Amino acid sequence: MNDMPVVIVTGASRGVGASVARWLGKIGAAVTLMARSGDQLHQVAADVKLLGGMPLTVVADVADPKACARVVERTLGKFGHVDALVNNAGIVEPLSPVAMADSESWRYNIAVNLLGPFHMARAAILGLRRQKGRIVNVSSGAANIPIRAASAYCAAKAGLTHFTRVLAAEEPSLVCVSVRPGVVDTDMQVVIRQEGPKVMTPDQMAYYQGLKSEGKLEPSWEPARSIAWLSLYAPQEWSGKFLDYDDQEISQPALSMFGKSLAENTIFSTKEEET
């Protein structure tokens, strides 16, 4: 078991996080899957096991620092070490202009998208130092681009990207990177299409609706493959960088390592990957 890579993935019950866990399962990794949704989490764990990995599921909220510490403790207790942390859990809500935003919803967005990665990194750092491990923070293009009615999300992702740079400076034995996963076909896009018309301009909504209708959204498994590779092989010289998942230096070795497809080897419904 000491030779088996051990990776913690937050937000692992669906979307990009679930796909990261499945790719890691395909190469026989041990994967701790953390999310708030227990039923979906256990289904992903079944896929990881079927693919050849060793799953551990922990139902918890990254906004809770005690829960984050418990996830790391359970990982070390079961697998003996931890090699990487993928901070993927995230929410886009609230969608609202700042002048009308609900302060508690805004606070919770920061708690999930920014404080969650802080809690997880803080809890895992000692274990990661022993392995000269990696932290991959899943950020967004919204870290650099202002999106009207998504102030909390933009602020949190900008903070997460710079937090990664600070973490890289403080932890020279680790490799800490943030990654832009592209515009992915996940529940976040569903929320935007449903709630956006209430608070976004017609031009904004036409853009988001067009992404779906014109088939321009990325399937979650594609950026997830790059993220899974980064969690195992991101080189030291990249530490602190904000990376694009489709950079050829990332996507090509990830494709060579993991292969092109997951679906033929898993029992999960491919609906998640296609909608």
* Catalytic (active-site) positions: 153
How many C-alpha atoms does 190 have within 13 Å on its Cβ side? 7
Torsion of CA 10, 140, 185, 35, to 10 degrees: 10
Residues 23 and 251: their CA atoms lie apart, in Å, by: 13
Cα torsion through 44, 159, 155, 145, rounded to 10:
-90
Please report how the helices 221-233 and 248-258 are oriented relative to each other, as an axis angle in degrees rounded to 10. Answer: 90
Residues facing 242 on adjacent strands: 178
200's CB contacts (< 8 A; 6+ apart) are 95, 148, 149, 192, 208
H helical segments located in the chain: 15-26, 38-51, 65-79, 103-110, 116-131, 151-170, 187-199, 202-213, 221-233, 248-258, 271-274
Angle at 79 between CA 73 and CA 85, to 5 degrees: 65
- Residue 74 tokens read as 């359970």
